[in-house]
Structure 1
Amino acid sequence: MIPSWLNWKIILVVIAIIVVSGTIFYSRYVAGKIAHEERKNVEAWVEAQRTILNSADTASINLATRISTENTQIPIIETNERDSITGNYRNLDSATVKDNPLYLREKLLQFKRYNRFPIILVLKDTPYTANHYYYGESTLLKEARLYPIVQLIIVALFITIALVAISTSYQNTQNKLWAAMAKETAHQLGTPVSSLEGWLEILKEDTVNDKIVPEISKDVNRLLLITDRFGKIGSQPKLERSNPVPQISHIIEYMKKRTGKHVVFAFHHTGTTTYPLLSPPLFDWVMENLIKNALDALEGNGEISITCTSLAHAFIIDVTDSGKGIPKNIVKKVFRPGFTTKKRGWGLGLSLSKRIVEEYHKGQLFVKWSEAGKGTTFRIVLPV
């Protein structure tokens, strides 16, 4: 049985780590072999220099010269026995050496860090005279050392792109599912609501039902509003410039009548009223969801404060409750479809609200502040 924590993302990351780790170890092994071969090549080159200086045999000199000229990759600097640069070097940029007097000294220090012990060519025993040869990494060795780093970057980029693509695909699938469910709900509600409207017209003809009919009419209108809201999910709603303040005030009054006496509502508006583009039915739905969420957090006792701030570029709405707050470890999860901490409910209210604000109104909906035992503030930012 596969453990619950072992999902495809973890498996993908583990495989990537194994591949990259194996590559790094193998690259280090190859780089070590190349470095060993390069030292042998430098030793052979130094021996060729000895032959050129000391041998009288033409064949030996020709062979040594050939060995000497074949080194076109490994940079070498020659010093005397006191480590003073003689001016003899190989496979370094001559133009840079000419333009920068310190270039050879800087390279020598770099080579000494790479190889502490030089290859020594003794010229005379008495007085002792010798040349020291320091060498650096060839281009091939540098590429071998850089290869695992480049591969690590490529693998990390591949994993990132794969995860983003899969996450986007999953989110799009979820969005289509919620939109399909909303449209189907609207379709299913449509028939009984139409029937109720017909029966309501019949009841209006009977004077006995004067007190009942208005209340039923309110409920039918409410059902029509809910049907209209669900029908707008999944399609681009028509936006119009609206003043959100009266709408919010109306929603607060509506919710007040359906809450207990121990819940206090406060509503404030600052700044000159601005008119963002809104879909009024969907915006009302968002506000109702946030207020209902606040009421659930209060558990029948506390305060809900709604503050509107009009700015030149945005209309900001803060919905604050004095409830139990949201634990830090789940703040990022509250907008996920299906996530809920309640015993009842599908966990779609905040998810749909975020979709309405961000996708349809091009705004933002997020948790501005939350602290355990003190409350939570949800913020809506609507562009003007």
Structure 2
Amino acid sequence: MFKQIIGWKFSLIAVAAAIIITTIWFVNNLSEKIRQEETKKVATWVEANQELLQSPSDANINLAVQIVTTNTTIPLILTDEQGRIKDHANLDSAQILRDPGYLARQLEDFRRQHPPFIMAVDSHSNNYIYYGDSLILRQVRYYPYIQLLVVALFIALTLFALSSTNRAVQNQVWVGMAKETAHQLGTPLSSMEAWVEILKETAEVRPLAAELAKDVDRLKLITDRFSKIGSVPNLEERNVVEQVASVMAYIKKRAPQKVNFSLQTAEQEVTAMISPTLFDWVLENLLKNALDAMEGKGDIQVLIENHSAHLIIDVSDTGKGIPKRLQEKVFHPGFSTKKRGWGLGLSLARRIIQDYHKGRLTVKSSEMNKGTTFRIWLRK
């Protein structure tokens, strides 16, 4: 399925590239043909003016006048041999009146666009005809690029809208699933609490009841976490060092003995506004992923850095690492390299940090067979 999606994306990109290349080629080819036609028209116009100056025949004069007067689109400037402007045609007359330097700038522009035509005035002097691209040629040349830009912006906005809609639907699914899970767990938990209290009244099973009570409390914590998904969290100012140490102690009791845990911090009190229940959930996910990556032995290190406006928590392991091409995909819902699980842990963890704590959760670094470091960035 994943390969099919990649294949479709590549095909769409290839088709879009082909359309763009074909459009640009066609426009350039068409504009070149129009440019050549305009050059021929200017050459004919120059010849007609030459006839007006030199031919005494009434027929030739009438034909020349007709040719000269038909040019209403191609801008022209007539100069003498010293470059002084003597006449012009098809230029913005209002702009000429407002701006004394307009004609001089247009002349320089025409010189860059095309070589001039030479028109003999008499045996001793010549005039020069400079011309520029017509409005039609400029429109043909540039309009398709503007059109492609507009289409690209439209597609980008459409994709953004679809992505936002898809994200909103995903959020609704997440919230619905989490709250339904919390609701379903609530009823049996109430019964289990009652049974634990009954067991505590019997001396023979009181130690067993105490252990069962711990598991019930744990299930209640999990239920509380699920119930908070989709709700506005109550952020509290907490000592993050104590919070991290508490979660590490809980995970350490349930980890293999060959796994070494260490917490490094320059200060014993680093405060931030967090939702303790959800923040602990994120840390548990990261630590459990680190344990899975190491397969029973290795080192897990948590580093806390305190800065003026934010703090950083790095969770590092010495496990098998994550390939570079998968480092962003590990946060996608449903993505997992394990045979068990739904692939929701890291996705939920990122949502909790980004949506509820306005922070960031990323893969800081990872090297195959050497380990991975996840980074949590939080505002203080």
Match of 2:112 in 1: 110
Match of 2:356 in 1: 360
Match of 1:42 in 2: 42
Shift of 1:101: 10
Q: 1:317 aligns with which of 305, 313, 319?
A: 313
Give the CA RMSD over aligned residues: 2.9
Distance 1:166 1:10 in 2: 19
Q: 2:88 aligns with which of 82, 87, 90?
A: 90
Matches within 5 A, 1:1-384: 4-5=4-5, 9-10=9-10, 12-56=12-56, 61=61, 64-65=64-65, 67-69=67-69, 71-78=71-78, 85=83, 87-91=85-89, 94=96, 99=101, 103=105, 106-107=108-109, 109-112=111-114, 115=115, 118-123=116-121, 130-271=126-267, 273-384=269-380
Between 143-152 and 33-42, the greater mean CA deviation after superposition: 33-42
Note if contact 1:75-1:89 (Cα within 8 Å) is conserved in structure 2.
no
Distance 1:76 1:218 in 2: 93
Shift of 1:205: 0.9
Residue deviations 1:150-199 (CA, integer Å, cap 9, x gap):
12211221222222222222222222212211112111111111110111
Distance 1:192 1:161 in 2: 48
Give the letter for the 2:37 counterpart. Answer: E
Shift of 1:39: 2.3
Distance 1:16 1:104 in 2: 38
* Secondary structure of the corresponding residue to residue 52 of structure 1: helix
Distance 1:104 1:155 in 2: 33
Residue deviations 1:234-286 (CA, integer Å, cap 9, x gap):
22222222222212111111111101111000012224734322111111100
Shift of 1:224: 0.4
Give the letter for the 1:43 counterpart. Answer: A
Residue deviations 1:338-359 (CA, integer Å, cap 9, x gap):
1111121111000000001110
Unaligned runs of 5+ in 1: none
Are residues 8 and 236 of structure 1, via their aligned partners in 2, closer, same or farther at CA, if it must alter by over 3 Å?
Answer: farther
Unaligned runs of 5+ in 2: none
Shift of 1:28: 3.1
Distance 2:85 2:242 in 1: 87
Paired residue total: 374
- TM-score by length of structure 1 reads 0.87
Between 217-226 and 296-305, the greater mean CA deviation after superposition: 296-305
Shift of 1:319: 0.6
**Percent of pairs with identical residues:** 47
Residue deviations 1:59-101 (CA, integer Å, cap 9, x gap):
8657645653553432334467xx7635335245757995489
